[in-house]
Amino acid sequence: MSVIYLDGEFVASHEATVSVFDHGLLYGDGVFEGIRAYNGRVFRLEEHIRRLFDSAKAIILDIGMSQAEVCAAVVETCRRNEIRDGYIRVVVTRGPGDLGLDPRKCSKPTVFVIAAAIQLYPERCYTEGLRVVTCATRRNHPQALDPSIKSLNYLNNILAKIEVNRAGADEGLMLNAEGWVAEATGDNIFVMRDGQIYTPPVAAGCLRGITRDTVIELAQAAGLPLVEEFFSLHFVYTADEIFLTGSAAEVVPVTNVDERVIGDGRPGPISRQLVDLYRDYVAHNGTPIGT
């Protein structure tokens, strides 16, 4: 039986409840982070919690805790669940209110932390590559809802994921309103062409992923040329290699996009190199969970 951190207490998972009047449930009014633990360490915990607080600030949501206190809650939740390798979800909602939209009616936020196991893709996807389709659903326009805000309202991504499921694919590619490639339904995208790695800038409508930033650092340290640049679907179709990154997905190759075979149809050497570099890096870095 797992243990959940909920508003300052640790409770059994079957006793962890949120009010039906919570605006996180009623309106998606809240923010969250997905974090990984490897080898008894929480990976890039401080960076994730800072991004959580940045998202909360953007929607004028007072978490009611310091960043250090949230970090401590994450570590303790992992410790109580004996997590060595797992996935952590930190959620902050606006809290219980009334049936109106006004956030001022919510007097206290709801904060909870879940630590459990996760496997977003089966292992074959890392050895054979993902089959990806382009979604008709466009990524939210930054002037409507800034993708930098990791909000609880993920309906935009879910609509795209429904398209992926109906197509029988592994993942979906989302374009922005101008037709540039933004990101996958829950991951960032990298494209390799002629020895150069490309990834969309945040201005394309993608989240500045912490795994994305880690991979950029690893690529630069390995001497692999990488730039942030807008690119189209044609650029994706004609790529030598493609891979996606995300906290849950980690680094996963793509070998087929809209029935176009990428490269020779197998994960390329740079993709495989970065998978290995990433796995080695996360196994030795992070905030210790302890016993």
Dump pLDDT digits (tens) for 164-214. Answer: 999 999 999 999 999 999 999 999 999 999 999 999 999 999 999 999 999
Query: Which pLDDT does position 134 carry in this prediction?
Result: 98
Above pLDDT 70, what percent of the chain?
100
User: Measured between alpha carbons, how far is 126 from 252 in angstroms, rounded to an integer?
Assistant: 5
Q: Which two tokens stand for residue 158?
A: 């879910």
Taking phi over 0 as left and psi of -120 to 50 as alpha, with beta for the rest, 281 belongs to alpha
- The yes-or-no answer on residue 161 being catalytic is no
The DSSP code for 202 is G
Structure confidence by residue, pLDDT tens digits, 102-137: 999 999 999 999 999 887 788 889 999 999 999 999
Check: CB of residue 79 under 8 Å from CB of residue 249: no
Residue 66, pLDDT > 80, answer yes
User: Measured between alpha carbons, how far is 267 from 253 in angstroms, rounded to an integer?
Assistant: 6
Report the 10 Å Cβ neighbour count for 239.
Answer: 22
Q: Helix, strand, coil % (nearest 5) of the chain?
A: 30, 30, 40
Provide the total of helices (H) and of strands (E) in the chain, helices listed first. 8, 16
The pTM assigned to this predicted structure is 0.94
Q: Which of 57, 105, 108, 150 is catalytic?
A: 150
Just give the CATH number of 3-116: 3.30.470.10
CA 74 to chain centroid: 17
- For the chain, give the mean pLDDT: 96
CATH among 1.20.120.80, 3.20.10.10, 2.130.10.10, 1.50.10.20 for 123-282: 3.20.10.10
The DSSP code for 140 is P
Domain locations along the chain: 3-116, 123-282
Query: Which pLDDT does position 215 carry in this prediction?
Result: 97
Q: If you write DSSP's letter for every residue of 58-87 in order, what string do you get?
A: HTT---SS-HHHHHHHHHHHHHHTT-SSEE
Residue 39, pLDDT > 90, answer yes
